[in-house]
Amino acid sequence: MRLGELLETNINQFGEYPFLYFKESQYTNIETKMYADQFAGGLKQLGILVGDRVIVCMPNCPEVIFAYQGITRAGAIIVPVMFTLHPKELHYITLNSGAKVVITSSLVIGNVEKALEGLDSKPIVVAVDQPSNDRSLNFYDVKAENSFNTTQMVKDDDTAVILYTSGTTGNPKGVLLTHKNLTSNAENSAKHNELERGTTLGVLPLAHVYGLTISNICLLMGSSIVIFSSFDTEAIFKAIEKYEVKTFSAVPAMIHALVSYPGADQFNTSSLESVSSGSAPLPVALLHVFEKKFGAKVYEGYGLSEAAPIVTSHKDGIEIKPGSVGIPIPGVEVKIIDDHGDEVACGEVGELCVHGENVTPGYYQNVDESRRVLIDSWLHTGDMARMDDEGYVYIVDRKKDLIIRGGFNVYPRDVEEILNAHEAVSEVAVVGIPDEKMGEEMVACVVVKPGAIVREEELIGYCQEHLAKNKTPRRIVFLDTLPRNGVGKILKTHLRKTVAEQEIK
């Protein structure tokens, strides 16, 4: 199936129903199709051809869904971009993708205009919430009166989305995702989790592959989405109560915020049965606190942009193993290999590799990197993992985050799990810094719970009680917050820089 067919399939199967809720407005699936058709026609009138790239860069709102469906119905390629990016990052993505149109909002348009400076060929700017002028067009002015859908002109294996990675180690890479990658992953995820029709929360950025896939799943399932332009803890609780939400998807930072919210008991959250967590490792201590507080299960899963994105997940009816990211979803194979490419024994740590219809064909205009991560159609994820005898996968750490201290491998997550269990610790991230004697040394960056008092020596002693000596951090650095990207992943590159600067001082 192609992305442009999702709405027709949804309407034929479920009839008209409220599909999107946003603030005080709601939009049915049929209204969504109307706006998508009109916008597809508008793009055609602007000269957008099959295969052209269109950037969507703005906070979550209904127009993001209208735009995505409109772009794919025009036969063009969606380029979702986090609205929090710096203009220099957006400049690179615009230049690299050769985008013909940028769809944005008043909140971001200033950065968009800065990003377009210096480009030989500037894309057309479309804003969803301001009138057409000499610099940009209004979203609703870009429309055709007649329906327009060129879905039949594209194939399942054609590129539907180019999703740029965060670029923490250089310029971002454009992950190519085909119609088959995305629709098969949505279908298999829904099948794996045995999802029921209902209303869910759109708290994840739609510009992120996880959020994009959740919206595709909702179309397949006939579900509704309450869209949030930003993460608002109180609004989340109100929506759970109002719409009797049974399940939604989040990232660990959001789960932490829900657990920490002092007014949580004021809301009726009895409808909530489960929350799916992905994008970053979920501390086991946080999982237990959430389940105890809300009486809802946490299904941790694993995915990455290059796998469109869902690879493994827990689900109802199987054992939840804390610390594990579950088992592969249907249609996805995984294996764990050593540095020579050979599969490791059960329980041993190696690099996680993925195979299936969800795996990217490569990176946009980057043949060398595509060849590096795609070997014999297997995606080499760069994540270190182990698998137990029942097929459950445990993510140990990012390969690049591995700390080699005195010749011994130390995985930061092992240390983080211990410190997260300390009563005074709210959050923690462990990084390695260069050391003349040991090669690398460990530093734990800790955020303390409000009102708690704890000393560096106490936390180091706590680690020594639970870990081997070579796994104990040399230093504890106390921070007010941990730096994160737009989907809540801790930016360890930034932390290493912060710690290194403190070492110099």
CATH among 2.60.40.10, 1.10.1040.10, 3.90.79.10, 3.30.300.30 for 402-504: 3.30.300.30
For the segment 218-276, what is each residue's pLDDT rounded down to a tens digit? 999 999 999 999 999 999 999 999 999 999 999 998 999 999 999 999 999 999 999 99
Cα 355 to Cα 311: distance, rounded to the nearest angstrom: 9
Residues of the chain with CATH 3.40.50.12780: 3-180, 231-398
For the segment 424-435, what is each residue's pLDDT rounded down to a tens digit? 999 999 999 988
Could you tell me which of 492, 495, 488, 494 has the C-alpha nearest to residue 257? 488
Contact 362, 351 (CB under 8 A): no
Cα 206 to Cα 217: distance, rounded to the nearest angstrom: 13
SS (H, E, C) 140-177: HHCCCCCCCCCHHHCCCCCEEEEEECCCCCCCCCEEEE
pLDDT greater than 90 at residue 399 = no
CATH of domain 231-398: 3.40.50.12780
pLDDT greater than 80 at residue 170 = no
Q: The tokens 């993510």 sit on which residue?
A: 395
Q: Where are the strands (E) in 344-438, listed by range?
A: 350-356, 362-363, 374-375, 378-387, 393-398, 403-405, 408-410, 425-435
Q: Is the peptide bond before 309 cis (omega within 30 degrees of 0)?
A: yes
Average pLDDT over residues 25-34: 97
Token pair for 165: 């990675």
Helix axes 209-221 and 6-14, enclosed angle (nearest 10): 30
pLDDT for res 147: 64
pLDDT greater than 70 at residue 106 = yes
Q: Indicate yes or no: pTM above 0.85.
A: yes
Amino acid making up residue 169:
T
pLDDT greater than 60 at residue 437 = yes
pLDDT for res 167: 53
Max Cα–Cα distance, the chain, nearest Å: 71
pLDDT greater than 60 at residue 325 = yes
pLDDT for res 438: 86
- Dihedral of alpha carbons 267, 260, 281, 370, sign: positive
Token pair for 98: 């050769």
Q: What is the DSSP string of 103-118?
A: EE-TTTHHHHHHHTTT
3 state SS of 301: strand
Total residue length of the chain: 505
Cα 107 to Cα 122: distance, rounded to the nearest angstrom: 20
Architecture of the domain spanning 3-180: 3-Layer(aba) Sandwich (3.40)
Residues of the chain with CATH 3.30.300.30: 402-504
pLDDT for res 194: 83
Give 245's contacts (C-beta < 8 A, 6+ positions apart).
Answer: 198, 199, 200, 201, 226, 239, 271, 272
Could you tell me which of 441, 429, 366, 396 has the C-alpha nearest to residue 170? 366
